Amino acid sequence: MSQIGNKLKAGFFATPQRQGEYLRQLLEFKSDTAVLDPTCGEGKILKQLTEDRSNRPFNVATYGVELDKRRAMLAQQELDHTVEAPIESMVISNDAFGFIYLNPPYDHTMLGIGDDKTERKEYTELVRSTRYLMPGGVLMYVIPSYRFSDSKIARFLATHYEETCLTRFSDEDYTDFRQCIFIGRKKKSSRKTADDLLIEQLFECEDEGFVMANITPVDQIVGNRPWIIPQSKPTVATFYTRIEKKQEFVSLIKDNKGFNAFIERTKPKTLTIGGDPIINIAQGQMALLLASGAVNGLIGSGDTLHALQGMEKVSTIVTEERKEHSIVTKSRTKREVSVKVITPTGIVKKLM
């Protein structure tokens, strides 16, 4: 399993603009609807597929989800609604979208607590997106050609979709990407049977020779009867992530009384000397205050104004004691107080 940091980029391959233009001509929008790309990247392909080039009198609302922060920011400029989050964290209305474009990461899911094994994201996202797609809605599913031979993917597509078509990138881009496109309409009936012929065709996609010989390039099916996208509400009732953004908590934390009290308690304490002492200060206590620097600064006023600076000098005194057969070395710490005073006449006095 790859590391989490690598997974942020794993399997991200934007659909080439040329292929997007071919795919756009296979779709027809006739009424209000909502469309989704659950792994939208920079949002360009979904915008291209749904772009209004004829001043249509209805609304096609575009929705996207993207994990990567930079790509999500770009997608926000292209799509009507974009959420920066992992698709696994999203809460989305079921049966809400008339069209879904799905080009999932080519990777495994991460192993979570309680999970026995991982699954391929191509299959996981296919199942998830099918829940979001309304009955009669159109799915456009783009993955590497050999992945269609996976038994789970093949049987799921053949069971849940009708009016299906399997095509591939045109020759200009297929060699570089090796991707096929499945287009189908989600079945409306609750009782579903698998299309055995479709399953057999998908199983054969494991063989690159079969794909090149039997799967028609997308540019060659342009002009055939397009898939009409059904009507749905442009506003999706539920479309949000369960993960809260940390930026949203900053103002709440700053205004929190408990947090402000904690800040006050952790501030460095300062010693303030002022006013008359409660009791007379003994000479030794004054010496300690001077030595510690607690009374540094100006004392008195007018003709009695003095500037004081006190400090403690610490030194080590070493002595030797001769005994009958040895010499014992002892050391002790000596502390001395040094106070400098500047009188009103400018004379500097040093008191030891």
pLDDT digits (tens, 9 = 90+) for 106-122: 776 554 445 455 568 89
Residue 259 lies in a domain: no
Q: Among 244, 260, 275, which residue terminates a domain?
A: 244
Domain at 165, CATH number: 3.40.50.150
- With respect to residue 275, please indicate whether it lies within any of the assigned structural domains: no
Instruction: Let me know whether 62 and 124 are in one domain.
Output: yes
- Give pLDDT tens digits for 285-311: 766 666 666 666 677 777 777 777 777
Do 42 and 135 fall within a single domain? yes
The verdict on residue 316 lying in a domain is: yes
DSSP H or E run through 58: none
Q: What pLDDT is stored for residue 239 in this prediction?
A: 97
Burial of residue 347 (CB within 10 Å: 0-12, 13-18, 19+) is exposed
Same domain, 143 and 223: yes
- To which H or E segment does residue 259 belong? helix 257-265
Confidence at residue 10, expressed as pLDDT on a 0 to 100 scale: 47
Q: How high is the pLDDT of residue 214?
A: 97
Residues 291 and 236 placed together within one structural domain of the fold: no
The CA-based dihedral angle spanning residues 139, 140, 143, 149, taken in that order and rounded to the nearest 10 degrees: 60
Q: What is the pLDDT, as a whole number, of residue 178?
A: 94
Helix (H) or strand (E) holding 211: helix 208-214
pLDDT of residue 12: 60
Residues of the chain with pLDDT under 50: 1-10, 111-113, 115
Q: 28: exposed, middle or buried (C-beta count within 10 Å: 0-12, 13-18, 19+)?
A: exposed
Domain endpoint, select from 189, 220, 244: 244
305: enclosing H helix or E strand: none
Q: Identify whether residues 120 and 194 lie together within a single domain.
A: yes
Task: Examine the domain organization and report whether 111 and 190 are in the same domain.
Answer: yes
Q: Are residues 170 and 34 in the same domain?
A: yes
Position 54 in a domain: yes
Q: Show the DSSP H helices in 32-150 as ranges.
A: 44-50, 69-78, 121-132
Longest dimension (CA), the chain: 117
- Residue 343 lies inside a defined structural domain of this protein: yes
294/206 same-domain check: no
Look at the chain and report how many structural domains it folds into: 2
> Quick one: 182 and 320 in the same domain?
no
Between CA 229 and CA 185 the distance in angstroms is 9
pTM of the entire predicted model: 0.69
Assess if residue 224 is contained within a domain.
yes
- Pairwise CA distance, residues 337 & 347, whole Å: 20
| Torsion sign across C-alpha atoms 299, 304, 305, 310 | negative
**Which range marks the domain in which residue 209 is found?**
4-244
Task: Tell me which of 244, 266, 301 is where a domain ends.
Answer: 244
Do residue 57 and residue 184 come from a single domain? yes
Residue 272, in any domain of the structure: no
Any domain includes 249: no
Q: Is residue 305 located within the same domain as residue 217?
A: no
Q: Assess whether 310 and 240 both reside in one domain.
A: no
